[in-house]
Each structure stands twice: as structure tokens, then as C-alpha cells.
Structure 1
Amino acid sequence: MALRGPRVWLWRWRRNPLKRRADRVETWVVLGVWTFTVFLGLLAGTTVTRSVEDGLARERVEWRPLVARLAERAPGTAPENDRARAEQVWATARWTAADGSEHSGRLRVPAGSAAGAPVTVWTDPEGRQVTRPVTESQARVRASLTGAVAGLCAAAVPLVAGRALRGRLERHRIDQWAVEWSRFGPMWGRTAG
């Protein structure tokens, strides 16, 4: 276990006659990496969050529910007394888009629904089937989580690069110490005579 003294804040910035050029370079590298990491993480996170929020808001505006009719009887049997708790199964439905074009697709409907029964299908402006758009609060949560992940991933790039650069500086510093030790180390064994 390495022995460490008391923790000194901002030790990299204190004056020290033993501080080498490589130490000063490393100080600026650490400051630059942390500054760039925070900046890039925040920039990426907020940009992605806004983009996702805008896309989900556009979906809420453009996607509309239409009434579709089942093209076939839905498989299974529905409970007689509680239609709301019926099992959901896949069935084919047909609908007409706002431009008059005919579309069909598979929807989740209550088991045992009769052919021709009305069901709700969500469509985009071209009449293609889409999922139900998320609510405003769901969009906020989804955008925030996506933005946070994007920010963390973007922030990892300068952190990894900075760590690699600091590793190279450390290897260079150790090589310098080895050269100096080979030059002055043998002199320590001599005594004045």
C-alpha cells in the first residue's frame, strides 16, 4: 500500500522547486480535459434532449387516431362478463387514410372480437400505422434519459483521451527519472576521502 500524506487541494497548482516541465504540462492537460469533458457532455446532452423532445412533440401533433375495422374475427374467446379485461390478441384491420388510400395492418384487439368491429389505429400523415404517441411527461422523461446517456458517452471520449495522454506523460517522466538515476545514482556510493 502506498503511503500518502494529507490531501492538499489544488496541489497541482502550487509552487514547488522540484516541479518539472512535464508536471506543469500534466497540470494543464488535467484542467483542459476536465473542462472539455464537462463542456462536451453538457453540449451533447442538451442537444440530444432537445432533438428527442422536438421529434416526440412532432409525433404528438402529426399522428392521429383513425377508426379501423377488423378484417377477420379475432382469435380466442372473450369473457362474457368483463369485456375490458379480455385477453389482447393480434388481428388484421383495415382503414382509410385522410388522402383516401386504403391500408391494413395487425393490431392488438380483445380476443373474440367480431369481423367488422371498430378499433382505433394510430397513423402518420401518410396513413401508415404507427404506435400511440407518448404523452408530454413521458416524452420529457424519455428525452432526459436519452440526453443523459448521450452526454455521458460524449464525455467519456475526452476522459479516455486525457487518460491516455496522462499515461504517456507518466511514461515519459519515468524514462527521464531512469536516465537521471543512471547518471547520478552511482555517485551516491562514493565517500569523500
Structure 2
Amino acid sequence: MAAFRGPKVWLWRWRRNPLRRRSDALEAWTVLVAWVLTVLGGLFAGLAATQSVEQGLAQQRAEWRSVPALLTEDAPDASAMETGGDLVWAKVRWTAADGSLHAGQARVFAGTAAGTSVTVWSDPHGRLVTRPATASQAQLRASLVGVLVGVSAAGVPFIGGRLFRGRLERRRIERWDEEWERVGPMWGRMTS
């Protein structure tokens, strides 16, 4: 089939041609704008998301601190738990940076006795938090989020352009049908 098409002509929709329809030019501009918005929109959205996530995780690393805590009760035994892991939830008590006492639950090794000192992580308000991501973990998370956001943002103009081109194609087919209804019956006539 490709042998019958002839050579590929670049930018044919922008060249002067008596057979070029207005819809051809509109479709060409639609494709160009959709691709530019797809590439640039996806790139900028992905970079902005990456930077935002990296800043948030860096702020967590700067603000969250490890705090010594004491177990207030014996940690459950791993054999009694259905989790099958080495870490279980147990009640702990710690003193925040402002001197106030706090209590909560933290993950500790199974079977740890009450009164044992464990390390927990706390935010500036004294609430328990998870261990902050390391710099390499933060970079990986930020990159993954950036790629996901970039691809999602790029999909919007791409899909919009495809839908608009589909609408142009349907309109073009409708016009061909109208023209064929007008011209088709004249093909059977004999000219003398």
C-alpha cells in the first residue's frame, strides 16, 4: 500500500495548494498546538511536582527528630500476632522538645519488655511520625511522582487534541456524504 502513496511531503498542510481545505489547516494547527502543550505541559508539570515533593521531604528531614521513648507495657510476642513480622505495635511514652509528656503507639521488636528504651520519631508539635525519607529515597519518590504527574498532565492536551481531530474527521465525512448525494446521481448520465 505504501508504494501507491508517493513520497512523503513534510508540512504539506501549511503549503499553498488549491486542494487544501480549511479543515486541513485547522487540523494541522490542532496537531501542532496539542503536541506543544503535551510536551511542554507534561515537562513543566512533572518538574514542578518533583521539586515540590523534594522540598516537602527535605523539610521533613530537617524538622523531624528521633526521640528516646520508654515502653509502657510489654510488646506482644510475634507468635501471638498474626502479622508474622518482627515488629509489633506497643504503647510508648516520650518527652517532646518543649518538655511535655506524650504517649502513643510505635512499632517495636516483638517481645520487648516494658521499660525498655526505644527510638521514635517526632515532629515539632510532639506527634509521632515515621522515620523521614533519606535523601536518596526522597529523590526516588520525587522522581516517580514527577513522572506520574507529568504523564497525567501531558495526557490532557493529547486526548483533547485527539478528540478534536476526531470531530473534524466526522465533520469532513459528513461533508463528503452531502457532496456525494449531490454529485453521485450525475455519474450515470451520458455526455454527448
Structures share a fold, TM > 0.5? Answer: yes
CA distance in 2, matches of 1:98, 1:18: 78
Question: How do 1:11-22 residues align onto structure 2 when only pairs under 5 Å count?
Answer: 11-13=12-14, 15-22=16-23
The secondary structure found in structure 1 opposite 2:125 is: coil
CA distance in 1, matches of 2:109, 2:42: 46
| Structure 1 consecutive aligned stretches of length 4 or more whose deviation exceeds 6 Å | none
CA distance in 2, matches of 1:26, 1:77: 66
Question: CA 1:157–1:15 in structure 2 vs 1: closer, same or farther (change >3 Å)?
Answer: same
Q: Report the Cα offset of residue 6 of structure 1.
A: 5.9
Q: Does 1:184 align with 2:189?
A: no
Q: CA RMSD in A?
A: 1.9
CA distance in 2, matches of 1:102, 1:62: 19
Q: Which amino acid aligns with 2:106?
A: L
Q: Which residue of 2 aligns with 1:27?
A: 28
CA distance in 2, matches of 1:63, 1:147: 24
Q: Which residue of 2 aligns with 1:96?
A: 95
CA distance in 2, matches of 1:88, 1:174: 66
Question: How do 1:1-193 residues align onto structure 2 when only pairs under 5 Å count?
Answer: 3-4=1-2, 5=5, 8=8, 10=10, 11-13=12-14, 15-76=16-77, 87-193=86-192
Q: Which amino acid aligns with 2:132?
A: P
Q: Which residue of 2 aligns with 1:81?
A: none
CA distance in 2, matches of 1:7, 1:138: 51
The secondary structure found in structure 1 opposite 2:18 is: coil
Q: TM-score, normalised by structure 2?
A: 0.89
Structure 2 unaligned runs (5+)?
80-84
CA distance in 1, matches of 2:15, 2:139: 45
Q: Report the Cα offset of residue 16 of structure 1.
A: 4.1
Structure 1 unaligned runs (5+)?
79-85
* Percent identity (aligned): 57
Q: Report the Cα offset of residue 18 of structure 1.
A: 2.2
CA distance in 1, matches of 2:191, 2:15: 37
Q: Report the Cα offset of residue 14 of structure 1.
A: 5.0
Q: TM-score, normalised by structure 1?
A: 0.88
